[in-house]
Amino acid sequence: MKKTPFVTLEKLQEITKQYPTPFHLYDAKGIRKNALAVKDAFSWNKGFREYFAVKATPNPFIVKMLHELGCGCDCSSLTELMMSDAVGVRGHEIMFSSNDTPAEEFVLANQLGAIINLDDFTHIEFLEKTLGKIPETISCRFNPGGIFKSANGIMDNPGDSKYGFTKEQLLEGYKILKEKGAKHFGIHSFLASNTVSNDYYPTLAKILFELVVEIKQVTGCSIEFINLSGGVGIPYQPDQTPNDIYEIGKGVKEVYEEVLVPAGLGDVAIYTEMGRFMTGPYGCLVTTAIHEKHTYKEYIGVDACAVNLMRPAMYGAYHHITVMGKEDAPCDHKYDVTGSLCENNDKFAIDRMLPKIEKGDLLVIHDTGAHGFAMGYNYNGKLKSAEIMLNEDGTFDLIRRAETPKDYFATFDCFDIIQNITK
């Protein structure tokens, strides 16, 4: 089976005349269409808001585009807060969900008016000492422990996760927060990553909805918003069936009406915090075949490496590859597609059946629109690539330039030893 790129060979040839490979390319039309579909799927909930997970694609142009479509920002670090603020996302449009959080990050989140989502029971005291008070609006992250299952079987193991309060801590935490002056409460939970199942959100929702009813009974705190976080995934494999966001929204609505409405909680807002689902399929890594090697295996070397896309090296993750211009050619050659790092796991594909690849061919590595560029690093002194937006009218814009050696050496600019390099 195959995947169809959102860009043609002819358009890539036009882009590469101006911007050399490798680069990440994003599909503005796809991102906008998907963001509007998410909003529509949850339009039954008056207070719904999608908080885009900035960590997935931390580019201000993309964050701003999604904000214009009604999305807020899910931030987890100082710089993500700064980026959100810079593009005009402020106040309760920001959800600050962090862990092991430095004091200065809580301070900035509070200054911006963000909703702070506490990850741990001990952070209640830490936050109060840091800010001098507890904010009137506060959220807590729940971890039920054990194994998380849905109708499709085991999804993940929250008991091994470093995130969130236990149930006992949560109940006690809300009591303490209320005593310390908090007036508006939320709850958040993330139990599984990259689920390709319409059951995940409804299953998680039922757990949280039932817990919210109990929280009100035990603590007197009325939860005003429930954040289902992320975890809604994308089909990296070409034979996987994509999630249906409308079925997911319908499933959450059914549980909402089953659990919350009879408990007198029919005005609770639903938040989501997706990243991968929002942008993942609408980005690709474009790279050029520059070498071939014939030893114990057949290798194709490309000008990208794990610096540009870490997931295959880090997780053994599958990313589909299209050899542009050869979409209909038989996949009768077995290759390892590799980068140039001094690490043997720097491979985008292992034993992958592809059309015959020749030096100079353009390869599209699919589904890098989230956790692609974002996870890049500078091992071996490699430089991060450019990011380019393909607009709906066929034009394209540079939205992040490629790094240069001067960028790499910039943090040595206060030392004489490196001055000649950074000039």
Which residues have a catalytic role annotated? Answer: 342
What's the rounded Cα separation, in Å, for the pair 118 and 124? 7
Contact (CB, 8 A) for 232 and 190: no
Q: Would you call 246 helix, strand, or coil by DSSP?
A: helix
- Three-class HEC string of 350-361: EEEEECCCCCCC
The tokens for 83 are 């980026």
Contact (CB, 8 A) for 374 and 55: yes
Residue 328: CB partners within 8 Å, gap ≥ 6? none
Q: How far is CA 170 from the centre of its chain?
A: 26
Cis peptide before 22 (omega within 30 of 0): yes
The tokens for 402 are 């490629």
Element (H, E) at 83: helix 78-86
What's the rounded Cα separation, in Å, for the pair 251 and 385? 40
The tokens for 93 are 């449009």
DSSP 415: S
**Partners of residue 277 on adjacent β-strands:** none
**Partners of residue 23 on adjacent β-strands:** 286, 386
Q: 């963001």: which residue's tokens?
A: 35
What's the rounded Cα separation, in Å, for the pair 213 and 256? 11
Task: Residue count of the chain, please give it.
Answer: 423
Q: Would you call 230 helix, strand, or coil by DSSP?
A: coil
